[in-house]
Amino acid sequence: MPRRVRILGRKKALTSYPKVLINDPTGNRKSRFPSNQITTTKYTLLNFLPKNLFEQFRRVTNIYFLCIVIITLIPAISPLTPWTSILPLAFVLGTTALKEGYEDFGRYKADNKVNNKKYYVMKRDGTFAKKTSKSLVVGDIVKIMSDQNFPSDIVPLVSALDDGVCFVETAQLDGETNLKIYKAPVATNSMDPEKIPNITGYVEAEVPNHRLYNFVGTLNVEGETHSLNYQNLLLRGATLRNTEWAIGVVVYTGKYTKLSLNQKLPPSKFSTVERRLNKAVIGIFVFKMGCVISMTVGSAVFNHEGIRDNWYLDIDISASYQTIRDFFSYFALLSFMIPMSLMVTLEVVKVIQGKFMEWDKRMALDPDDVAETGMAVKTTNLNDELALVKYIFSDKTGTLTENRMIFQKVSINGVIYHEAGKGELKTELKSGSDNAEAIRDFLTNLSICHAAVPDVDEETGDLVYKSQSPDEVALCDGSRLNGFTFKTRTQTDVTIEAMGETISFETLNVLEFTSDRRRMSVIVRLPESMGGGIRIYSKGADSMMLSLLRDGDDDIKQKTLDDIELFCKEGLRTLILGYKDVTEDEYEEWNTVFHKAETALEDRDNKIDEASKLMERDFIIIGATAIEDKLQDEVPETIYNLLRAGIKVWVITGDKQATAINIGHSCKLLKDSMEIMVCNAESSDECRDLLKSYVDRYCAHPRKRSDPELGLVIDGHTLNYALEEHAQHFLQITKLCHSVVCCRVTPIQKANIVKLIKENTHEVCLSIGDGANDVSMIQEAHIGVGIYGNEGTQAARSADYAIRQFRHLRCLITIHGRYSFLRNSGLIQYSIYKNAAAFLVQFWYGFYSGYSANTIYDDLIITLFNIIFTSVPPFFYAIFEKDIEPDIIDQYPEVFRRVQTGYQFSYSSLFVWVLNAIWHSIIFFFGGVILLGNEPFYGNGRSTGLRVMGNMVSTIAITIVILKCAIFTNHWNILVHCGIWGSIAAYFLVFLVESYIPAIFRNQYHQFVICFQSPMFWLMFLVAIFVCLVPDIFGKFLQRELYPEDWQILQEAQQVKTLDKVDAALQRKLAADKNPDEIVEELDPEDA
């Protein structure tokens, strides 16, 4: 059913696109097509402030703190000056606004650059005038020069090359640098450009949609209708190459170009840490409300008794009014228990962590050029989620392998040629082999049945082939190596050089390859030297081609299948080739049906597919090809490393089972010591019985560590039954499996596998791939990783992280993911701790102040607490913290298990931090109460009072919470030192300045000297530090000595240079045939 869209200016949603009139600008204006101006910015100068504030106040935390600001603006109920809440909130809002404004300004400059590019537009007299891109309108006749980008979606009318052929690079659309052939319609492809202003007609196009490789339309010129497909639409963002010029009519502009329709936001993904943080903030709010309500109840009781008994308080308002006022006062006073700046700090930290990933030379192809050959981070909010990965789902071709195909072997007419990749077929032809005719048919098929484009290497001058499929390039190279060279192609013919003889074939129809068809066919008229007549050549996957072969030829079929099985066991990729001769009458009858299908405006693809099936049958089998796709560097080591880290790895591929198993062994995913379960079923019942037998065998009893590891190999046909009808049994088995290989899998099955595991295991899943067929799997997973591959960058563009090779995944997950989780967990829990520890003092003070909601702290100290005094140490911690060095993690990936469970940031760990904060707040306040309870006098006869006690408590509280950060910091550098000691110094400096500016800080006059001259202060200071921090230090010492964790053993071994002993212990355990999962867990501290 056509997609409903709304054309700009129309109120009614349309199900069709208006006709694009050629050489009739007045008629086109009536259709009110959209402007070609592109705007990707989020804001304008006028709406930036209101819109940005609206966006920020969609966050519940910002609304909460806005309520606090409003309360502090009401003097009757606020115990604080408004600046204590206004400045911190303004800091958070301002920082976020600056970040968003900077990003949007970058988009604005990019838009301006694109919108103001100039292009030649044909006038009515046939001359050309320059016009900016944003000024182009639908119906304009535009002339594009070589190496120019197309400013809109254009139907070409004529080009500088024969038959209106245009060579186009679509790298900005799909990342593919290989040139593609686009064509002008037959009606205009040979027209003199000067005659274009005189033609009349229109283009009838489908409703704008995002599908890059689908276009349905017709061109009506001088009363004749011609079909248009995706090869007749030059897309905005693509570039004209190797073609001097091309002239076409603008069909889609602005937001209705396919480029704009593909520029949508990726699906929102939230990390486990973020979800836990949101719940933690709710929990803290509930805790805070409990404190507020308890203080309010206390206030009600005290005020009720105070009216009668405490006459000296001069309470001249009703107890109920006082209680309501105290509720709002305590609501504001205790609001700082929720760290206001945490969210923005966490966001900035994640961006910096992402930059560290992009700058990491270990994840760059060329360490000296990280900017061009490094990785890209698209979604920084998932940095810490990388540490929780339990499942990896990987494509094979281009992900584990190089996707650089090498033509190796062939089977022709039942005969294997092992040296075909070295020109053996050419030798056979020269020697007059008995199989020469079949070899010629085979090589002819290879050289004409493809979509490759010939090009000339600028450096060497050699002929090279470019195609979006590396397989086609390998097959063309293999054909050329054996004497059949593909030379040129036009819309009407294809020319090859066969054993030195130039031969041209008239191209009648091309039935193109799709992921559903999994085959390609070309219908040609043979030259007279080959006997004339019409022939269809076809090649495709054996799963598709076998059913299309003619009856008979059983011996050759079986021999070819046996050869294919042999090739697959060697890990080679295979295709079956066939052909069929067609009579003129058969072709004309079929072509009538096909022409109707390709000119249909609705359901064209399905109609073309049905018409193609009428011709693609009863093929004569010629043979099969075998192409090698080598593994990338360090793939076996990477997979072994990930398995040792406790991650289950699944390889999902479209290859045959034998090929998939061979690759599984090559990359160490499958091992000889494994028990491998193979699932091949022809029916649902058979699938159920097979899975149930495995469940009964392996799931009935708990598996022991000494039991061999399990592996599963399952094909796509069986997988359909397993996913749709027997998911429970399938899940039971896969949970026990060390690794899984899925073969003959379609793109939609890839996504369904990920969805099943994600929804039923509730574990973090990561998908990695390199092609467009992996996009659905990548977006389905919690984390998507794309590889910049030979199949383009569709996967990389759709992913959360884009890397260059599979081996970089090891560093991304086990090192950067691990560090990010530890850093962000520490930042969050410490931020909650420091605010709770410092501001729960206000709660305890309420019991001693008659529940009056007065503050014990100075207002400026409260204001700067989160902005300056305690913001820098956790910020630098979240950027630089590392417990052990990257090389150690790489050598002992088992330490990844420390973070994989997520216990470092769980509700229990957060509860411990909060208990610690409560304990420290008690020490801060009641230490002062005990030591200053008798209100000692100074030499001048003055007593200490509330202000002195408040400054003593704030000094001790801020110093201790900063030193607490120092205690759990493992990695120290100059910035961490500056952050810790500089923050303490900053507090003392502010306190000193306050004490000597009485005109501004009246209550703080001379307080610095009073505090630091007091012996009681120093006693309280030392006792508080001892009581608060020494238990932490002593507890860490005991834990390290008695119950050390694996990372602590390796940390100490690294520091004292005894890693060789740890490595020796590791080798001993490996020699004893231990499971690698147990190795570091069993290491003895004495080994270090």
Token pair listed for 624: 């099969």
Q: What are 392's strand-pairing partners?
A: 649, 766
Q: How far apart are CA 378 and CA 779, in angstroms?
A: 13
Using the predicted structure, report yes or no on whether residue 673 has a pLDDT greater than 50: yes
Q: Which of 155-159, 273-277, 708-712, 787-791 has the lowest mean pLDDT?
A: 787-791
String of DSSP letters for 705-752? TTSPPEEEEEEHHHHHHHHHT-HHHHHHHHHH-SEEEEES--HHHHHH
Whole-number Cα distances in Å, 764 to 382, 388, 530, 813, 818 = 11, 6, 60, 12, 14
Question: 624 vs 796, which has greater pLDDT?
Answer: 624
> 659 versus 757: which is more confidently predicted?
757
The 3-state DSSP class for residue 579 equals: strand
Residue 1081 predicted with pLDDT over 70: no
Cα–Cα dist 774/128, whole Å = 44
* pLDDT tens digits along 797-821: 778 898 999 999 999 999 999 999 9
Q: What was the pLDDT predicted at 8?
A: 40
Task: Pick the closest to residue 895 from 1054, 750, 740, 743 (CA basis).
Answer: 1054
Which band of pLDDT confidence, cut at 50, 70 and 90, is reported for residue 570? confident
**What's the pLDDT score for residue 522?**
94
Mean pLDDT for the stretch of residues 887-897: 89
Residue 277 pLDDT exceeds 80 = yes
Which tens digit of pLDDT belongs to each residue from 595-648? 888 877 778 778 888 899 999 999 999 999 998 888 888 899 999 999 989 999
- Give the pLDDT of residue 176: 62
Residue 1087 has pLDDT above 50, yes or no: no
Question: Which tokens hold the place of 21?
Answer: 């009139």
Query: Which of 23-27, 300-304, 357-361, 716-720 comes out lowest in average pLDDT?
Result: 300-304
User: Which of the four pLDDT bands, split at 50, 70 and 90, describes residue 312?
Assistant: low
Tokens 């590019």 locate to 117
User: What pLDDT digit, counting tens, does each position of 314-340 carry?
Assistant: 555 566 777 788 888 888 888 888 887
Q: What is the DSSP letter of 401?
A: B
What mean pLDDT do residues 496-513 have?
A: 90
Interval 162-167 mean pLDDT? 82
The C-alpha atoms of residue 626 and residue 569 are separated, in whole angstroms, by 11
The whole-number pLDDT of residue 958 equals: 94
From CA 539, how far away is CA 478, in angstroms rounded?
A: 15
Angle ∠(686,688,694) on CA atoms, nearest 5: 105
Residue pair 393/653 in contact by the 8 Å Cβ criterion: no
Radius of gyration from C-alpha coordinates of the chain: 37
**Using one digit for the tens of pLDDT, what is the confidence trace for 740-751?**
999 888 778 888
pLDDT value at residue 310: 62
Beta-sheet strands, E only, within 854-969: none
Question: With helix as H, strand as E and coil as C, how does 764-820 read?
Answer: EEEEEECCHHHHHHHHHCCEEEEECECCECHHHHHCCEEECCCCHHHHHHHHHHHHH
- Return the percentage of the chain with pLDDT > 90, whole number: 31
Identify the pLDDT of residue 523. 94
d(CA 874, CA 827): 5
Q: In Å, how far are 105, 108, 268, 654, 731 from 55, measured between CA atoms?
A: 17, 19, 16, 44, 42
Higher-pLDDT residue of 76 and 1008 is 1008
Average pLDDT in the 115-128 region?
89
pLDDT in tens, 364-394: 988 888 888 899 888 888 899 999 999 999 9
Give the active site residue among 360, 395, 655, 774: 395
DSSP one-letter string for 1041-1055: HHS--HHHHHHHHHH
Structure confidence at residue 1088 as a pLDDT band (50, 70, 90): very low
Amino acid 318: pLDDT: 62
Tell me the β-bridge partners of 240: 168
pLDDT, residue 278, reads 83
| Closest CA relative to residue 335, chosen from 85, 87, 94 | 85
CB contact set of 772 (below 8 Å; sequence gap of 6+): 174, 791, 792, 794, 795
**Residue 395 appears among annotated catalytic residues:** yes
Is residue 872 pLDDT above 50, yes or no? yes
Question: DSSP secondary-structure letter at 669?
Answer: S
Q: How far apart are CA 720 and CA 727, in angstroms?
A: 10
Q: Which one is predicted more confidently, 31 or 482? A: 482
Q: Given this model, what pLDDT does residue 325 score?
A: 82
pLDDT at 14 over 60: no
Mean pLDDT of the chain: 84
pLDDT on residue 798: 78
Q: What confidence tens digit (pLDDT) does each residue in 253-267 have?
A: 988 888 888 765 556
The rounded distance, in Å, linking the Cα atoms of 124 and 118 is 19
Mean pLDDT of 658-686: 84
Q: From CA 845, how far away is CA 832, in angstroms rounded? A: 20
Q: Is the pLDDT of residue 1074 over 50?
A: no
Of 216-225, 458-467, 865-874, 929-938, the range with the lowest mean pLDDT is: 929-938
pLDDT for 437 beyond 80: yes
- In this predicted structure, the answer to whether residue 41 has a pLDDT above a threshold of 60 is yes
Q: How far apart are CA 942 and CA 938, in angstroms?
A: 6
